[in-house]
C-alpha cells in the first residue's frame, strides 16, 4: 500500500476528522470523479471476546481503549463500502495498518508515549473493486499477539509488551492519497511471566532477604518481620495479597494457606500498578519451629494467579545470645 509513515497524533487527528465529517469526499483521477469509501474497524470480531472486556477512557481521545496482555491474542473485523451512488476508484486499495507506541506509567506520569513504529499485518491490501462488492465488504483479521509482532521496517521484534497499539482501516486512492476509515486502540500490558514479588527481612542485625530455596533463612526463636515489593506489573484493577503456609515453597499455595490481611489491596484501573514496602508482622502466623513460605497472589480478570516467586524462612527454638563474663568489685 502506498503510504507515508506518520506520528500517531497526526494519525488520530486524521481519523477523528474523517469520522467527524461522516460524509464521502470526491477524488479526481484520470479525468474521472470517484467517491471515498466508508468503513468500520471492530475489535474483537463479532462473536468473539477479549480476555478483558474493560474499556478505558484516555483524556482527549474520542475512543475508549481496549486492554490485553502482550501474550494474549486479539482479532478484528473490517467492513468497507461505497456510499450509494458513488463510483469507486479502480486504482484504489483498502488495507490494514498497525502501529505501536511504548508508554510511561500513566498513574505517575500521565499518558506519556514514545515514538510511533509500524508493525507488520500479514493482511493483503485489496483492490477497490474487491471490498466494495457485497460478498467481500467484511474481512476478518488476526489473530494478532502483541509480543509476537514484528516491525514493518526490518521484521525485527517490536518488543510490544507495555504500550498502546493502534489498528486502522485505511483507503488509498489511485493518486496515493490516504484516508483513515476507522481505527481502534488497545492498551498492551506485560504477560504474567514478567510479574515478580520480592520479599525482604526487616531485621537490622541480619539485614538479609528471605530465600527462594527450600532451605530458607533461620531465625532463632522469633519469626522475622518482612517487607514485600513488586514490579510494576500488577494488572489494572487487580487485587493482590500475601499468603503464608508451613513447609517449603510450592508452585501453587496449598488450600490451607492463610491470607495476611494487612497486605490486601486493589490496584487502580487503566494502568499497571506497583506495591512498595508492604509490611508484615509474621508473629501471629507462625505456630512453632519449622519452615514457612510467603507467596503473593493476584486476582484479576485473568483469574487467581501467583505473583512472582515464593520466599521461605526457618524458625528454630533457639536464641543466639552473645554474653561476656567478668569480675565486679
Please say if the pLDDT value at position 216 is more than 60: no
Q: Are strands 178-189 and 66-69 parallel, antiparallel or unpaired?
A: parallel
Angle at 106 between CA 113 and CA 18, to 5 degrees: 55
Round to whole Å and give the CA distance between 302 and 234: 12
Query: Rg (Cα) of the chain, in Å, rounded?
Result: 28
Cα 63 from chain centroid (whole Å): 18
Report the candidate in 203, 269, 208 with the shortest Cα–Cα distance to residue 238.
269
Give residue 110's pLDDT band: very low, low, confident or very high (50, 70, 90): low
SS3 21: helix
Residues linked to residue 198 through DSSP beta bridges, in sequence order: 229
Report the candidate in 213, 142, 128 with the shortest Cα–Cα distance to residue 184.
142
Contact 170, 3 (CB under 8 A): yes
Please say if the pLDDT value at position 50 is more than 90: yes
Domain spanning 195-316: CATH 2.40.128: no
Residue whose C-alpha cell is 487485587: 239
| pTM greater than the 0.75 cutoff | yes
Contact 72, 43 (CB under 8 A): no
195-316 and 8-191 share a CATH fold: yes
Give residue 128's pLDDT band: very low, low, confident or very high (50, 70, 90): low
Residues linked to residue 97 through DSSP beta bridges, in sequence order: 168
pLDDT in tens, 241-255: 999 999 999 999 999
Angle at 61 between CA 56 and CA 63, to 5 degrees: 60
Residue 254: its pLDDT value, please? 96
Please say if the pLDDT value at position 153 is more than 70: yes
Round to whole Å and give the CA distance between 292 and 123: 53
Looking at the structure, give the CATH architecture of the domain made up of residues 8-191: Sandwich (2.60)
Instruction: Give domain limits for the chain.
Output: 8-191, 195-316
Amino acid at each position: 500500500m502506498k503510504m507515508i509513515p506518520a506520528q500517531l497524533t497526526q494519525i488520530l487527528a486524521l481519523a477523528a476528522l474523517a469520522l467527524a465529517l461522516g460524509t464521502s469526499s470526491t477524488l479526481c483521477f484520470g479525468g474521472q470523479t470517484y467517491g471515498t469509501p466508508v468503513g468500520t474497524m471492530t475489535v474483537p470480531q463479532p462473536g468473539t471476546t477479549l480476555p478483558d472486556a474493560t474499556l478505558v477512557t484516555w483524556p482527549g481521545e474520542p475512543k475508549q481503549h481496549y486492554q490485553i496482555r502482550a501474550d494474549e491474542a486479539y482479532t478484528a473485523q473490517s467492513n468497507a463500502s461505497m456510499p450509494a451512488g458513488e463510483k469507486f476508484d479502480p486504482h484504489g486499495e483498502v488495507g490494514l495498518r498497525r502501529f505501536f507506541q511504548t508508554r510511561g506509567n500513566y498513574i505517575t506520569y500521565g499518558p506519556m508515549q514514545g515514538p510511533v513504529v509500524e508493525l507488520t499485518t500479514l493482511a493483503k491490501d485489496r483492490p477497490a473493486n474487491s471490498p466494495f462488492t457485497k460478498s467481500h465488504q467484511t474481512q476478518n483479521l488476526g489473530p494478532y499477539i502483541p509480543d509476537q509482532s514484528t516491525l514493518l521496517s526490518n521484521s525485527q521484534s517490536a518488543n510490544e509488551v507495555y504500550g498502546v497499539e493502534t489498528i486502522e482501516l485505511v483507503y488509498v486512492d489511485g493518486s496515493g492519497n490516504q484516508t483513515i476509515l476507522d481505527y481502534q486502540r488497545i492498551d498492551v500490558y506485560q504477560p504474567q511471566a514478567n510479574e515478580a514479588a520480592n520479599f525482604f527481612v526487616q531485621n537490622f542485625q541480619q539485614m538479609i532477604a528471605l530465600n527462594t530455596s527450600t532451605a530458607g533463612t533461620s531465625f532463632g526463636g522469633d519469626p522475622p518481620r518482612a517487607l514485600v515489593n513488586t514490579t510494576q506489573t500488577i494488572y489494572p484493577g487487580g487485587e493482590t495479597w500475601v499468603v503464608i503456609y508451613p513447609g517449603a515453597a510450592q508452585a501453587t499455595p496449598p488450600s490451607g494457606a492463610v491470607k495476611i490481611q494487612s497486605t490486601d489491596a486493589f490496584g487502580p484501573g487503566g494502568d499497571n500498578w506497583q506495591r512498595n514496602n508492604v509490611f508484615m508482622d509474621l508473629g501471629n502466623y507462625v505456630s512453632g519451629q519449622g519452615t514457612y513460605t510467603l507467596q503473593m497472589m493476584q486476582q484479576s480478570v485473568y483469574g487467581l494467579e501467583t505473583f512472582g516467586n515464593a520466599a521461605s524462612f526457618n524458625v528454630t527454638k533457639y536464641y543466639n545470645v552473645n554474653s561476656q563474663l567478668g569480675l565486679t568489685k
